[in-house]
Structure 1
């Protein structure tokens, strides 16, 4: 039984969909529980995966209401666990993991907590920060996407048991709604970025870096795919920098693979990352990558000098512009790096990642 807040667009949500489909194929009985209703779903579950909705999503106006909602979430999830008796309960991300551990207290199922971002980058309330410290030692295992996150967890919560299992890159990639046609390039070249329009993704820095290069590379355009609260600020920045004819923000697209395939270079400008699904996807499609060397994530995917570059220091406009310009100026380098980038299909293959999960599931089931 996988528990996640919703199936709205996002990396952890996509992983929940992919894991549930993979385990179903392996013969497991799989269910997925969300707090949010189906009307916000961006992902479709594989036929055969049971879906349950707690109907407990939404923000709280005050502390009393928050306590009431958390109690309701706990009660409804515990009732589901008692009814369906899963052997393994998996919480996707911090709040769902804490909820699972508390809901399963005293019941025979084993709980696996997961972290899908690097914890220092999260904006959690003191309540959830304290709850993570209190509950994670009770989990059968805590799964981190990167060694950096695992090290952080073991330093902050020494008594919890941590494993590192990265996300798989699903290849070939599938398309879903909304399908947004890729505009004809008409001989121009495209720099692509994908992610939530959120400050942590560093798109403000990317726009400044690209603006400094436009006069030197008049044949290049920048596309930023994704949606989020920062859209008005980014659109204003595009206008202030005079980039209206060179930068586009098409929003969230379900056929992102088409955009990867029709681009020349991928850039990840994040200030912090967990393990970037978009970076894996772009490289699997054969795009060379330029990424900031965050504390975790890109350094565990990119092989510098082989299939991409890691930019230091993080959020430095000039450093990012310098590395982008090197690739933009040399088509042969982009081609060579792009060919080697596709190795992530094997390095992060679903078969390899599912084998790691299978080993973990078997270990948890054997524990008293």
Structure 2
């Protein structure tokens, strides 16, 4: 089969990019003709290594630079495209030139499978791709996280897809309710678990990983940990990641009086070593798609304490078995649960062992065959009835 994956910026960093690169590698390894199409290119080389058997191309070369943010917003308002709605998280990328390049590309395709990976690209593919192309929309966020204007366009146009692939059972139900008659399948992102060292619970460290942005809720994790740490003097919190909220988060740490126990660690190329050295993983997000960093932590046998935010954590965890879920944005409840697991090593070991077992359900050996089955069914016109597509 000829499979084309379209990403906004395949040369950048991010969970969606990494996930799509992994999918492309699995499909080319299975013998398929695979290409990754990057809408824009802002670097000479991709940040993730790409198998040389996977072709990589770009539609708009922006290596000479892009306009400064404030000016870009003004330019976008004057020269924006006509399909990508206001409110799409990456809308400002889609000037008339960029949107036009995507429209030209998808409208010239005549065969194969086209997989688009965010609402902006999905909407263009739905409205402009030819009937001879099998169209698959990937959704990496839950429906409720999108701006109202984006949801309205999804409801209007996604029915043209041959299939919509989502990450969680909650999202599958949401999209199925919105798009009656359109196949919606659940295929989670895959996480490599090879040679993952399990924590030995010897270090009193709570770890969190993610972009330093409001979505990740580290502004709530800091006071929650500070409250729990008052009862557990030896414990520390390590937050790994970079982002625009760094200064504000550091101010919160300073205000908490925990500067010696809460650290913003920046980006690490050895994050799996850091996970294995920790004893608890905390997820404080306001919203998630599928929390990949949490699943990776589970692969290290780390117990999870997480907000039951929409969506993701509850689609992965079984409360009391492999982690603890607390009500969304309830800082006091997060503090109490952190304190509970920090103070009970036996509980951490039990939850962590179950977490490691759960994580194996997200390995490439489990996930990638679901993609190949989907593509084969779409290519032959077979019904999409595999129960794994609707299983948790």
Deviation at 1:41, TM superposition (A): 4.0
Partner of 2:353: 339
Unaligned residue ranges in structure 1 (runs of 5+) = 175-186
Deviation at 1:38, TM superposition (A): 5.0
1:322 corresponds to which of 336, 357, 366: 336
Deviation at 1:332, TM superposition (A): 1.7
Partner of 1:108: 132
TM-score (normalised: structure 2): 0.83
Contact 1:268 1:289 in 2 (8 A): yes
Deviation at 1:119, TM superposition (A): 2.2
1:84-233 matches, within 5 Å, as 87-104=112-129, 106-122=130-146, 124=147, 126=149, 128-172=150-194, 188-233=203-248
Q: Does 1:49 align with 2:73?
A: no
Q: CA RMSD in A?
A: 2.4
In structure 1, the residue corresponding to 2:60 is in which secondary structure?
Answer: coil
Alpha-carbon displacement from aligned partner over 1:86-142 (angstroms, at most 9, x marks no partner): 5110011222222332341x25111100110112223x472x444322321111111
Alpha-carbon displacement from aligned partner over 1:316-340 (angstroms, at most 9, x marks no partner): 1111111111110011221222122
Partner of 1:24: 28
2:39 corresponds to which of 35, 40, 43: 35
For the residues of structure 2 that align with 1:43 and 1:190, how far apart are their CA atoms? Answer: 29
Deviation at 1:213, TM superposition (A): 2.0
Deviation at 1:63, TM superposition (A): 3.2
For the residues of structure 2 that align with 1:70 and 1:173, how far apart are their CA atoms? Answer: 44
Deviation at 1:81, TM superposition (A): 4.9
1:3 corresponds to which of 3, 6, 28: 6
1:14 corresponds to which of 18, 33, 41: 18
Contact 2:141 2:290 in 1 (8 A): yes
In structure 1, the residue corresponding to 2:33 is in which secondary structure?
Answer: coil
Q: Cα distance 1:72–1:160, how it changes in 2: closer, same or farther (>3 A)? A: farther
Which stretch shows the higher mean deviation, 152-161 or 352-361? Answer: 152-161
In structure 2, the residue corresponding to 1:191 is in which secondary structure?
Answer: strand
Deviation at 1:161, TM superposition (A): 2.3
Partner of 2:283: 268
Contact 2:203 2:278 in 1 (8 A): no
Q: Cα distance 1:197–1:173, how it changes in 2: closer, same or farther (>3 A)? A: farther
In structure 1, the residue corresponding to 2:81 is in which secondary structure?
Answer: helix
1:77 corresponds to which of 102, 115, 132: 102
Q: Cα distance 1:159–1:232, how it changes in 2: closer, same or farther (>3 A)? A: farther
How many equivalent pairs are there? 352
Q: Cα distance 1:229–1:199, how it changes in 2: closer, same or farther (>3 A)? A: same
Q: Cα distance 1:354–1:319, how it changes in 2: closer, same or farther (>3 A)? A: same
Q: Cα distance 1:278–1:240, how it changes in 2: closer, same or farther (>3 A)? A: same
Alpha-carbon displacement from aligned partner over 1:202-258 (angstroms, at most 9, x marks no partner): 111110101112221111110111122211211111111112111111222232211
For the residues of structure 2 that align with 1:81 and 1:322, how far apart are their CA atoms? Answer: 51
Which stretch shows the higher mean deviation, 29-38 or 68-77? Answer: 68-77
In structure 1, the residue corresponding to 2:36 is in which secondary structure?
Answer: strand
1:289 corresponds to which of 304, 329, 335: 304
Contact 2:106 2:125 in 1 (8 A): no
Partner of 2:87: none
Which stretch shows the higher mean deviation, 51-60 or 109-118? Answer: 51-60
For the residues of structure 2 that align with 1:156 and 1:229, how far apart are their CA atoms? Answer: 34
1:67 corresponds to which of 81, 86, 90: 81
Which stretch shows the higher mean deviation, 131-140 or 59-68? Answer: 59-68
Deviation at 1:50, TM superposition (A): 0.8
